[in-house]
Amino acid sequence: MEESWLLTKPLPNKENHRVVNEYLLLLKNEQRNKRIILMTRNVFQEFFQVHNVPLSAITMQNVEKWVTEKKKACTKRTILQYLSLFRKFFRYCLVEGLIDEQPIPYMYEKINGDDDWKLKRTLPNEENQQMINDYLFMLHTERWTKLTIKRYRTILQSFFKETTTPFSEIDFADVKRWMTKNNIDSQTTSHLSTFRSFFNYCIQKGMLDTQPIPYKWKEGNSGSYWRLRMQLPNQENHKEINEFLLSLKVSNYSKHTILSYRNFLQKFFKDRKEASFSLTSSQIQQWFIQNEKDFQEATIKNHLIILSTFYNFCVEEGTINKSPIKSRMFPRPRMAIPKYLDKEEVAKIREKTDQLWLRDRCIFEFLYTSGCRVDEVHRLDRSDVDLEKRMAMVLGKGKKYRQVHFSEKCANLLELYIERRMDSNPALLVTSNQKANRLSKDMIRSILKKLGEDAGISGSLHPHRLRHTYATEMLAKGADLLFIADELGHTDVQTTQIYANLPKQELISLYRKYMG
């Protein structure tokens, strides 16, 4: 097999030659982009041919002088990329104990003359300083306004100047304490969105697994999150709704579902002094006309389902005789066809997956050929997967286990990925950093989103789109709806029925297959 990732010519310094080849082999084994590996090889081949000194003797001045000579032939972006290649290589040397310090600072420290975006003071934690400056530099290069960057910088600088805790260990409680101390309303969205944006950047860089700053609708992630967050005017309503929400928790409804139920019921009853059982159908309908007339039909339907479920609970508890929610109150939205990938889009994505890291190829293949939800894949452990039978045991909605199947190609990729893992984490998918933590749902979504963008497909690529694609392809190939429902974990086959709404080209394909 052609070893195209290795140096093509011997370097004057044999030790440098050995280390560079080991580094290139590491990139190859980690399934890095082939173009990046070859670029790294060519850059180091040229640089170390004229720098016959030990690695520990290489300085930023050496690299800067060599890069300066390239400036006439290269764009600023390429120059930045060169420095990034050197910094990553010397970081590897630092970890291996081949050098004592990193000679190449972060790109923002040397390349850009206009550093108005940069932190204006030194933070107690150097790691925080580097990560925030890296983030601010990203905002600067993506042409965010100076005013916005200054606001983000001021907020992050004010918070991190008071703590030595690494950014990777900051949680929502730390941020809330700081806001309270500085008399900042904890509901101030500008401050929370700044922290959320910064931590999203950390996640994209693989430095964090989960977002510590929840969105407003996600708050209440600890303790009795199903309880109402405000006191309702009618105490009996307050008590009934909390009992209803607790019943959802006991019935294993997902946290997301319970929070959406809680937030809407809180909104509906927050100004009502009368008891819930005294409301008539016309009063409820009038409220929707006044408060949700501009809402989408699907949203109005979901809110009516929440109210209906609550009132049915009250009927079962004997609080009322019958529900005031009538079927005529529900809008009749047009049944939407699930957004799935066509054959051409799948082919484009597959072409791009060949350039991905092995772990990311496993993510795409598993989701595409199993139809699993992202939450189910996130929770998978190695022990849950049977590579020989190409089968996995996943924990789905309602905390119900089911068996799913995946392709032979997926099994081969997973086997290779697991063999190359050096960590002891039981999780099937882990981060690529030294901690090797379980890969977060947000990170899986981020990987797929970037894959879709690189492949140039229309719309966003997300886990549920792959689930739709799986179901649609299974139906197009003649699979029974009951089988598809079982594979997807649908308790009601009517939920699966939506995939029967295939576009015309699929119907024509099936007609020709069976009728000629």
The set of catalytic residues is 373, 397, 464, 467, 490, 499
Q: Which residues of 242-259 are buried (b: 16+ CB within 10 A; e: fewer)?
A: bebbeebeeeebeeeebb
Of 129, 104, 131, 109, the closest CA to residue 119 belongs to: 129
Of 114, 203, 132, the closest CA to residue 433 belongs to: 203
In the chain, count H helices and then E strands. Answer: 21, 3
Q: Which residues of 198-226 are buried (b: 16+ CB within 10 A; e: fewer)?
A: bbbbbbbeebbbebbbeeeeeebeeeebb
Q: Which long-range contacts (CB under 8 A, 24 or more apart) does 17-23 make?
A: 17/48, 19/55, 19/93, 19/96, 19/98, 20/44, 20/48, 20/89, 23/89, 23/92
Of 497, 429, 425, 502, the closest CA to residue 463 belongs to: 429
What Cα–Cα distance (Å) separates residue 255 from each residue in 249, 312, 401?
A: 8, 21, 18
Angle between helices 189-204 and 126-141 (to 10 degrees): 100
Q: Read out DSSP for 350-386?
A: HHHHTTS-HHHHHHHHHHHHH---HHHHHT-BGGGEE
Output phi, psi for 477, to 5 deg.
-85, 0
339 membership: H or E segment, kind and range: none
403 membership: H or E segment, kind and range: strand 401-405
Residue 436 gets the label, from left (phi > 0), alpha (psi -120 to 50) or beta, of left
**Strand partners of residue 403:** 393
Q: What strands, in cross-sheet order, belong to the sheet with 385-386?
A: 385-386, 391-395, 401-405
Cα 353 to Cα 364: distance, rounded to the nearest angstrom: 8
405 membership: H or E segment, kind and range: strand 401-405
What Cα–Cα distance (Å) separates residue 500 from each residue in 404, 480, 504?
A: 21, 11, 11
Cα 24 to Cα 412: distance, rounded to the nearest angstrom: 24
Taking a C-beta distance cutoff of 8 angstroms, is the pair 265, 306 a contact? yes
Taking a C-beta distance cutoff of 8 angstroms, is the pair 452, 360 a contact? no
Establish how many alpha carbons lie within 13 A of residue 299's alpha carbon, considering only the half-sphere containing its beta carbon.
8
Cα 151 to Cα 189: distance, rounded to the nearest angstrom: 13
107 membership: H or E segment, kind and range: none
